[in-house]
Structure 1
Amino acid sequence: MENNGRLPSWAAALAGLVAGAVAAGLSLPAAALVKASAFPVVAAGNAAVDLTPAWLKDWAIRTFGEHDKTVLLAGVLAVLAAAAAYAGILAARDLRYGAALLGGFGALGILAVLTRPGAGPADALPTLLGVAAGVFTLSRLLRRALLPTGTGGEEPPGVQTPAAMRAEGEPPGVQVPAVMRAGEEPRSFDRRGLLTAALGGAVAAGAGAVAGRLFTGRSEVDAARAGLALPRPAVPARPVPAGSDLRIKGLSPFFTPNHDFYRVDTALVVPRVDPRGWTLRIGGMVDRQVELTFADLLARPLVEADVTLCCVSNEVGGPYIGNARWLGVRLADLLREAGVRAGADMLLSVSADGWTCGTPAGVVLDGRDALLAVAMNGETLPVDHGFPARMVVPGLYGYVSATKWVTEIKVTRFDRDEAYWTPRGWAAEGPVKTQSRIDLPRPGARLAPGRTVVAGVAWAQHKGVDAVEIRVDGGPWRQARLAQAPTADTWRQWVVDDWDATPGEHTIEVRATDATGYTQTAERTPVAPDGATGLHTVTVTVA
């Protein structure tokens, strides 16, 4: 025990950190019981995503890739930890100051929670519970950290009361520790008491986090997904032609494995939707409302289709593209069953976490394999990719077509409704642009002189790739050999296997021509507002 009558700053900060952890730990299971989006930490992160300007989001995706959400959550937690530590330092002077700071952050948390789509007053309860638990914990920790210095009004040797300090010449402004009230005995710092209490608080916070994980039904959803038997397709996909995959080491395979398939969305915490409680509602400008359960969906004729998906955030030559075999129900059949009214030109789909997507209705109804998908590459949809159901529409960037965890489709008009990304500066409609990428050799590679393989993929969804060309160091364009492709909705591998690489530094460019006769432009444009353009270029050294 340190008999100095004061609480060191590190000890006060530790008390604040533990109190903050308890607040977050107890609000998590409460949010799981009310609604997952009621957890204030995630709500604050989602609010940050919503308020972040488009240029900053683009920078985050370019810099951190699919780890951008982890970085954002880490940043939110770092801010909250710093605030909690400072609340502890303030509370060591006066508990009301620390409580006020925790309450202020709680108010911001409630604001973030209540502004989420579909939020109600009850969603504020987890935050209120967390703040109350945090203030209580902070008070108890400070009391445990400062214990009376003696009994019966006697002071241990060497410890002075504030009155004695003043009598010996200390100025009258010396502050009595705020945790000591009038009539109380002087207190001294008890390191062991603080650490013991802090350990108890940490255990309580951890128990809350574990309970929150259990209450979210994570294990139930995983079990339901694992136990799902997929029906056989009523309309199987076309056989993949021999030669669709050139099987060159380092070249993207024709089908992208599920664990390698890109993930770009706004969900900081992936929604875990129990298929037993899932429904899809189709309404708006329709003749009749349609509501389907997951069992209803599986009982319908299912269609297989090979479709390449691409994110609008994909830079020229970027990784946010993949090809998969999807299994699902034709969206057009569902819309015709509902009866789309004249004048409707938009499908506003809603995700389980409230994200919205605006899809041109005419595209879905024009005969292409637009699906409400339940499986991917022969297995039930992974949770990260939209289980139990998601939209897949060939030829459109994902932000206007690929709603994951979809729960609602509103038939409407573009001049009446806006989806999530449109007011943030992105185009309302997003057809995929004809593009190509060099997979081999890698940028910056060092190669041996002689015959060298140049290979990659090209895509022009729902149009098809007719030709791919490369050129080296600005020389003449050379035709690449194309792999087969089962439909115009998938990407296509290409290869030039006889480039005679000479010593020195070389720049390789690629371009594709689609079935409409359009050759991709060399003009570089950014991803916003409707997808990047330009030629993918790699520089290599031959020595």
Structure 2
Amino acid sequence: MDWRRREVLRLLIGGAAGALAAACARRLPSPEAPAVPHTPVRLPGPEQWPVEAAVPITPTSEFYEVKYSTIPRVDVEAWALEIVGEVERPLRLTYADLLAMPAVIEMRTLECISNPVGGDLIGNALWKGVRMADLLERAGARPTAREVVLYAADGYHTSIPLSLAQDPHSLLAYMMNGEVLPPEHGFPLRALWPGRYGMKQPKWITRIELIRGEHTGYWEGQGWSKEAIIKPNSRIDQPRPGMIPAGPVEIHGIAFSGPVGIARVEVSVDDGRTWQEASLTRGPTPYVWTVWRYWWEHPPAGEAVIRARVVQNDGYVQPRGRGRLLGGTFPDGTDEQHAVRVVIAAP
């Protein structure tokens, strides 16, 4: 589903037409690149970062891309981040200023709100940047502030609660997988908020404003969720649909959920009539995807439907499909079970 953020699908709902599009795509080659910086600005070079868990890192070249309009060209020497509004000390920080601040490195999984069931609009990377809470403390966020509004160089805008911006896992990142943040992924600066879909995590950030009221972002104005809290997702990567050989079968995939976290992943090989628990390899935090595996020792010959589901720590279980709009993703993402139909060859 290679949509673009700027493409608008107009669907008829109860006699009223609404603009209901949210779009993500695999990273595509682009002729645009960030402007070459001039001295004395120093861009960070490649770094060797420790991998904190035995879960896969998505290569930057394969990481899905969100595209609201065009990739902006940013002159990093002229660029600055402004923090204004309900703050005691408005800030204007250059790229060099941000690089001089205490840095953190975190593994983080990102998922598009319009990622379909079993889709690949999800990726996991190592990110380096600064804590948003440190910037808010430096600016002196006032208790009167309710939301944090983010504005980007491509014209995109959205908002998050102040409490989320103050979360210790909320980052403004300038490096990805040991390299300078690529232009497709937000050079020079992008947001990473824990437990939220990608539409709430803008790239190419130029301005942050703390406000007393509520802000309606671009995609929120099209009917998509204002909270955009990640829903549980369990994808089956193997086996693929179709014929598989006789004998034991390893079933595996990835699972992801919101801040509640994953208690377990269950697998069914009889279209949901019975369920078995899979083994898990977890990431370092709940904000990183989990690898799950199940060994199907004695698959009978013939057709079978394999399903996977997440059971969250609060007891919530992924449901079967409900046939909602845009593959079930509108307006707040999908949590429907992924199912794969296979035919096991006779021995």
TM-score > 0.5, shorter chain as reference: yes
RCO (CA 8 Å, sep 6+): is it higher in 1 or 2? 2
Residues 305-316 of structure 1: pairs in structure 2 closer than 5 A: 305-316=106-117
Q: 2:230 aligns with which of 400, 413, 432?
A: 432
Could you tell me which amino acid in structure 2 is paired with residue 535 of structure 1?
Q
Whole-angstrom CA distance in 2 between matches of 1:494 and 1:425: 34
Q: Partner of 1:453 in structure 2?
A: 250
Q: Give 1:240's match in structure 2, choosing from 32, 48, 52.
A: 52
1:257 aligns with 2:59: yes
| Moved segments of 4+, more than 4 Å | 54-62, 65-70, 230-233
Kindly state the Cα deviation for residue 318 of structure 1 after the two structures are TM-superposed: 1.3
CA–CA distance in 2 between the matches of 1:53 and 1:540? 35
Distance 1:508 1:453 in 2: 12
**Structure 1 residue 435 displacement after superposition:** 1.5
Structure 1 pair 504–52 and aligned structure 2 pair: CA distance change class (3 A):
closer
1:464 aligns with 2:249: no
1:24-47 CA deviation, whole Å, 9 max, x = no partner?
xxxxxxxxxxxxxxxxxxxxxx9x
Residues 400-422 of structure 1, C-alpha deviation per residue, up to 9 Å, x if partnerless?
A: 2x11011011112453x211111
Structure 1 residue 60 displacement after superposition:
8.9
**Cα offset for 1:219?**
7.4
Distance in 2 (CA, whole Å) between partners of 1:277 and 1:392 is 23
User: How far apart are 1:503 and its partner, in Å?
Assistant: 1.9
Unaligned runs of 5+ in 2: 13-17
- Distance of aligned partners of 1:307 and 1:426 in 2 relative to their CA distance in 1, 3 Å threshold: same
Q: 1:389 to 1:319 in 2, by over 3 A?
A: same
Deviation at 1:498, TM superposition (A): 3.0
Equivalence for 2:158: 357
Q: 3-state SS of the aligned residue for 1:399?
A: helix
Aligned mates of 1:452, 1:57 — CA distance in 2: 44
2: CA distance, partners of 1:68 / 1:59? 20
* Residue in 2 that maps onto 1:382: 182
Instruction: Answer whether contact 1:437 1:458 (CA < 8 A) is retained.
Output: yes
Q: Which amino acid aligns with 1:257?
A: P
Q: Following superposition of structure 1 onto structure 2, how do residues 473-484 of structure 1 map, counting pairs within 5 Å?
A: 473-474=270-271, 475-484=273-282
Q: 1:49 is matched with which residue?
A: 6
Q: Kindly tell me: are residues 445 and 274 of structure 1, through their superposed partners in 2, closer, same or farther at Cα, counting changes over 3 Å?
A: farther
| 1:348 CA displacement | 1.1
Identity of counterpart residues, as a percentage? 37
Superposition deviation, residue 334 in structure 1: 0.5
Q: Is the contact between residue 463 and residue 489 of structure 1 (CA under 8 Å) also seen in structure 2? A: no
Partner of 2:81: 280
1:528 and 2:330 matched: yes
Shift in Å at residue 294 of structure 1? 0.2
Whether the 8 Å contact between 1:308 and 1:461 is mirrored in structure 2 is no
Q: Which amino acid aligns with 2:245?
A: A
**Counterparts of 2:135 and 2:105, CA distance in 1:** 16
Shift of 1:287: 1.6
Instruction: Say which SS state the counterpart of residue 298 (structure 2) adopts.
Output: strand
Equivalent residue for 2:203, pick from 376, 390, 404: 404
How far apart, in 1, do the equivalents of 2:34 and 2:83 lie? 29
Name whichever structure is richer in helix by fraction: 1
| Equivalent of residue 146 in structure 2, options 320, 345, 353 | 345
- Quote the Cα distance in structure 2 between the aligned partners of 1:314 and 1:263: 12
Cα distance in 1, alignment partners of residues 210 and 44 from structure 2: 31
SS at match of 2:84: strand
8 Å Cα contact 2:19/2:222 also seen in 1:
no
Using the size of structure 1 for normalisation, the TM-score is 0.56
SS at match of 1:501: coil
User: Does residue 229 in structure 1 map to residue 44 in structure 2?
Assistant: yes
- d(CA) in 2 for partners of 1:511, 1:326: 28
Residue of structure 2 aligned with 1:517, choices 315, 336, 339: 315
Decide whether aligned partners of structure 1 residues 498 and 336 sit closer, same or farther in structure 2, where only a CA change above 3 A counts: same
Q: Is the 8 A contact 2:8 2:21 kept in 1?
A: no
The structure-2 alpha-carbon separation of the partners of 1:436 and 1:419, relative to structure 1 and needing over 3 Å to count, comes to: same
Query: Aligned in 2, Cα 1:449/1:232: closer, same or farther, shift over 3 Å?
Result: closer
1:370 aligns with 2:159: no
In structure 1, the partner of 2:15 is none
For 2:336, what is the secondary structure of its paired residue?
coil
Change (3 A) 1:264 1:465: same
CA contact (8 A) 2:37 2:77 kept: no
Cα deviation code 1:123-165 (max 9, x no counterpart): xxxxxxxxxxxxxxxxxxxxxxxxxxxxxxxxxxxxxxxxxxx
User: Residues 17-416 of structure 1 correspond to what in structure 2 (within 5 A)?
Assistant: 49=6, 53=10, 61=23, 65-66=25-26, 218=33, 220-221=35-36, 228-230=43-45, 240-241=52-53, 244-245=54-55, 254-267=56-69, 269-367=70-168, 369-400=169-200, 402-413=201-212, 415=214
Which one-letter code corresponds to 1:528 in the other structure?
F
The answer to whether the 8 A contact 2:46-2:180 is kept is: no
Tell me which residue corresponds to 1:541: 343
Q: Partner letter of residue 180 of structure 2?
A: T
The answer as to whether partners of 1:348 and 1:409 remain within 8 angstroms in 2 is yes
Amino acid in structure 2 at the alignment position of 1:327:
K
How far apart in 2 are the matches of 1:328 and 1:534?
Answer: 33
The 8 Å contact of residues 9 and 21 in structure 2, kept in 1 or not, is answered as no
User: Quick check: 1:280–1:406 contact (8 Å CA) kept in 2?
Assistant: yes
Secondary structure of 2:303's match?
Answer: strand
Is the Cα contact below 8 Å between 1:309 and 1:394 reproduced in 2? Answer: no
CA distance in 2, matches of 1:392, 1:386: 11
Q: Secondary structure at the match of 2:137?
A: helix
User: Is contact 1:60-1:68 (8 Å) kept?
Assistant: no
Please give the alpha-carbon distance, in whole angstroms, between the structure 1 residues aligned to 2:231 and 2:298.
31
CA distance in 2: counterparts of 1:343 and 1:60, whole angstroms: 32
Task: Name the SS of the counterpart of 1:288 in structure 2.
Answer: coil
Conservation of the 8 A alpha-carbon contact between 2:34 and 2:75: no
